[in-house]
């Protein structure tokens, strides 16, 4: 069931008929964000008080919110969507079987498959926000020129990872719409905040965004954004109320989370072209390549390449997967899109259409999961880059203030080192799938996201940070050893002097200092006592003034820092 929509106007209405008709548009808008775990722990300490891991408290955190706004009142709260059935006809079986065993253990939220203790230690959570069967949820956008368009929201999903990265997935579908309209939906609905006032005035960004619930003859506006006076606050852009409404359980204004990318969501889209709307040889034409370029680079409709043709053709040769190009099926990957374009629905070799169209089935299952994993890699590496910079800044200021690193910042640096180690060794895999086509898809998306160069860059930055900390610890240890050497000389010298009087010398020495009270005996006794007191208090002062260097050795049970002590991003 497709919503009533008004197609956007084109420069020449007479030429609109040469554009293809899209029989099925299915787009997932993917919004990656980073949770400030330390800020959230401070704001909701009662939830994580008994949870050793961040991920253990996510269910309670999400469940503790909602009920006061229209989204939760009409749609309810986010619900755990772990796989629970694993027979051969189940979605879990069909999704998991194409991945290597270690990927199945790491990137699938399952219940009832393994030992309950192992499942309790799962490091990710999948959630859904259910749309009731008897209603339609409509995503509506309108620009400043009065152009309005709607698409039906068919799924709302949320992925939360133990490292604080989350991905919100908003799925829209339309049937039998002009290609120009499909392109406009993808280009406009992905925007989450304006990059400038000009973008709003020129109609390159929706002036209005809304989620509308249609129930029988009643329409309820769940959330609406009109961009009345957007501004940056605490280094964060003015995020759309639509996104903030769907992420109702966390507070954007209090800097509990932030967008990882720019003002656009990632477009993961499927377009099936109606073969009746195009010439028979359409898949071999220049017009098809132009349409592919517009889909791949998320552009609006046009009858020529958006950029210089030879440049685009060279770029597209690296970005398009052509294994099935002879059937008109292309897969494309860019920094902000993952696209599947095909011509009609048909039997794919032995894959019969009555079992469901293979290309769309793969799009919403295994390829969707690979797109999520690749985006998770990119979001994590960008977040690690930011945190490395913030920690380095804090250490720099510490050192220039008093030539010492603050304890909280050292703890934050150590946590970052462990976070990177965990990501590189646990989360990150160069090879996810056990078949060529799936692996080639993932490699092309990872290459478009620059995952490998970003991983190498973060690794170098983390190594430099680790080297700096090691040098700092070595310097402190050297200073501590030198101070102990000085104390050893002081106390050792005093011991020699006091020991000198215990050597039981006889004769004149004994008669002067031991046999009877004399001035020399009193002077010697006073000098020894003074030396002992000076050495003792000097030792106390030396250790007290540098207690940080000796504290852990004196007290092996380390003091825990407050939960908000190492929050790097919050500035309120």
Q: What is the pLDDT of residues 517-547, one digit of tens each?
A: 667 667 777 777 787 777 777 777 777 777 6
- 60: tokens are 């309670």
Q: Which residue has the higher pLDDT, 112 or 373?
A: 373
Give every CB contact of residue 209 below 8 A, 6+ residues apart in sequence.
139, 140, 141, 191, 224, 225, 240, 241, 242
Q: Which of 9-18, 358-367, 516-525 has the highest mean pLDDT?
A: 358-367
Long-range contacts of the stretch 94-101 (C-beta < 8 A, 24+): 94/365, 95/365, 95/366, 95/369, 98/366, 98/433, 98/434, 98/435, 98/438, 99/366, 99/369, 99/432, 99/433, 99/434, 100/429, 100/431, 100/432, 100/433, 100/434
321 DSSP β-pair partners: 331
Q: With CA atoms as reference, report the closest residue to 380 among 71, 149, 165, 192.
A: 165
- Crossing angle of helices 547-554/519-545, nearest 10°? 90
Least confident of 202-206, 346-350, 433-437: 346-350
Q: With CA atoms as reference, report the closest residue to 370 among 439, 428, 305.
A: 439
Quick: pLDDT tens for 62-90: 988 765 588 888 898 999 998 888 888 88
Q: With CA atoms as reference, report the closest residue to 479 among 545, 533, 534.
A: 545
Q: How far apart are CA 308 and CA 312, in angstroms?
A: 6
Query: Binning pLDDT at 50, 70 and 90, where does residue 6 land?
Result: very low
Find the length of the chain.
572
- 446: tokens are 């990872």
Per-residue confidence (pLDDT) for residue 17, from 0 to 100: 43
Quick: pLDDT tens for 283-340: 999 999 999 999 999 999 988 999 899 998 999 999 999 999 999 999 999 999 999 9
The overall average pLDDT reported for the chain is 85
- 206: tokens are 């929706």
If you write DSSP's letter for every residue of 10-44 in order, what string do you get? -S-GGGGGGSPEEEEEEEEEEEEEEE-HHHHHHHT
Q: Which residue has the higher pLDDT, 557 or 139?
A: 139
Give every CB contact of residue 249 below 8 A, 6+ residues apart in sequence.
61, 62, 64, 65, 66, 77, 78
pLDDT for residue 7 is more than 60: no
Q: How far apart are CA 21 and CA 8, in angstroms?
A: 14
What sign for the dihedral angle of Cα 60, 65, 67, 72? negative
pLDDT for residue 564 is more than 60: no
Q: With CA atoms as reference, report the closest residue to 257 among 173, 164, 171, 379.
A: 164
Give every CB contact of residue 35 below 8 A, 6+ residues apart in sequence.
160, 164, 165, 166, 250, 256, 257
Q: What is the mean pLDDT of residues 399-410?
A: 79
Q: Which of 48-62, 68-82, 418-432 has the highest mean pLDDT?
A: 418-432
Per the CB < 8 A criterion, the answer to whether 501 and 528 are in contact is yes
Q: What is the mean pLDDT of residues 217-226?
A: 91
Q: Which residue has the higher pLDDT, 349 or 209?
A: 209
Per-residue confidence (pLDDT) for residue 8, from 0 to 100: 39
Q: Which residue has the tokens 């993961």?
A: 268
Quick: pLDDT tens for 235-273: 889 999 999 999 999 999 999 999 999 999 999 999 999
Using DSSP bridges, classify how beta strands 148-161 and 124-128 pair: parallel, antiparallel or unpaired. Answer: antiparallel
Quick: pLDDT tens for 442-452: 999 999 999 99
Per-residue confidence (pLDDT) for residue 497, from 0 to 100: 64
Per-residue confidence (pLDDT) for residue 549, from 0 to 100: 65
SS3 332: strand
Least confident of 27-36, 75-84, 495-504: 495-504
Q: With CA atoms as reference, report the closest residue to 470 among 485, 387, 555, 462.
A: 462
Per-residue confidence (pLDDT) for residue 563, from 0 to 100: 42
């Amino acid at each position: 069931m497709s919503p009533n929509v008004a197609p956007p106007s084109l420069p020449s209405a007479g030429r609109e008929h040469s554009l293809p008709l899209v029989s099925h548009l299915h787009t997932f808008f993917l919004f990656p964000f980073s949770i400030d775990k330390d800020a959230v722990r401070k704001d909701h300490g009662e939830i994580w008080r008994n949870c050793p891991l961040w991920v253990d408290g996510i269910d309670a955190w999400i469940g503790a919110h909602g009920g006061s706004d229209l989204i939760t009142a009409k749609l309810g709260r986010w619900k755990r969507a772990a796989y629970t059935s694993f027979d051969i006809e189940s979605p879990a079986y069909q999704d998991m079987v194409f991945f290597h065993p270690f990927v199945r253990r790491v990137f699938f939220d399952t219940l009832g498959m393994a030992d309950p203790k192992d499942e309790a230690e799962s490091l990710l959570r999948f959630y859904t926000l259910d749309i009731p069967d008897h209603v339609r949820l409509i995503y509506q956008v309108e620009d400043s020129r009065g152009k309005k368009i709607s698409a039906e929201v068919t799924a709302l999903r949320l992925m939360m990872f133990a490292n604080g990265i989350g991905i919100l997935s908003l799925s829209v579908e339309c049937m039998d719409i002009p290609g120009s309209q499909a392109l406009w939906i993808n280009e406009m609905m992905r925007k989450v905040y304006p990059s400038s006032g000009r973008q709003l005035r020129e109609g390159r960004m929706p002036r209005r965004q809304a989620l509308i619930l249609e129930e029988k003859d009643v329409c309820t506006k769940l959330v609406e954004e009109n961009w009345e006076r957007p501004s940056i606050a605490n280094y964060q852009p003015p995020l759309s109320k639509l996104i903030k409404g769907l992420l109702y359980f966390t507070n954007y204004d209090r800097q509990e989370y932030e967008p990882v990318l720019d003002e656009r969501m990632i477009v993961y889209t499927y377009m099936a072209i109606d073969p009746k709307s195009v010439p028979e040889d359409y898949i071999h034409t220049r017009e098809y390549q132009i349409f592919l370029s517009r889909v791949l680079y998320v552009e609006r409709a046009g009858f020529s390449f958006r950029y210089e043709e030879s440049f685009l053709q060279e770029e597209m040769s690296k970005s398009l997967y052509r294994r099935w190009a002879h059937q008109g099926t292309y897969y494309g990957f860019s920094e902000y899109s993952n696209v599947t374009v095909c011509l009609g629905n048909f039997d794919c070799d032995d894959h019969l259409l009555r079992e469901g169209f293979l290309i769309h089935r793969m799009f919403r299952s295994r390829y969707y999961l690979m797109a999520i994993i690749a985006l998770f890699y990119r979001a994590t590496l960008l977040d690690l880059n930011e945190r490395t910079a913030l920690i380095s800044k804090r250490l720099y200021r510490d050192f220039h203030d008093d030539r010492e690193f603050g304890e909280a910042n050292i703890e934050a640096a150590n946590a970052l080192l462990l976070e990177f180690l965990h990501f590189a060794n646990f989360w990150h895999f160069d090879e996810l799938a056990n078949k060529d086509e799936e692996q080639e898809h993932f490699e092309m998306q990872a290459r478009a996201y620059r995952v490998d160069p970003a991983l190498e860059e973060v690794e170098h930055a983390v190594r430099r940070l680790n080297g700096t900390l090691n040098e700092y610890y070595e310097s402190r240890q050297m200073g501590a050893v030198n101070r102990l050497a000085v104390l050893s000389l002081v106390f050792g010298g005093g011991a020699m002097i006091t020991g000198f009087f215990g050597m039981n010398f006889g004769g004149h020495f004994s008669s002067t200092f031991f046999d009877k009270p004399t001035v020399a005996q009193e002077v010697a006794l006073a000098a020894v006592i003074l030396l002992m007191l000076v050495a003792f208090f000097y030792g106390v002062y030396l250790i007290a003034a540098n207690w940080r260097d000796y504290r852990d050795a004196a007290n092996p049970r380390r003091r825990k820092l407050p939960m908000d002590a190492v929050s790097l991003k919050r500035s309120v």
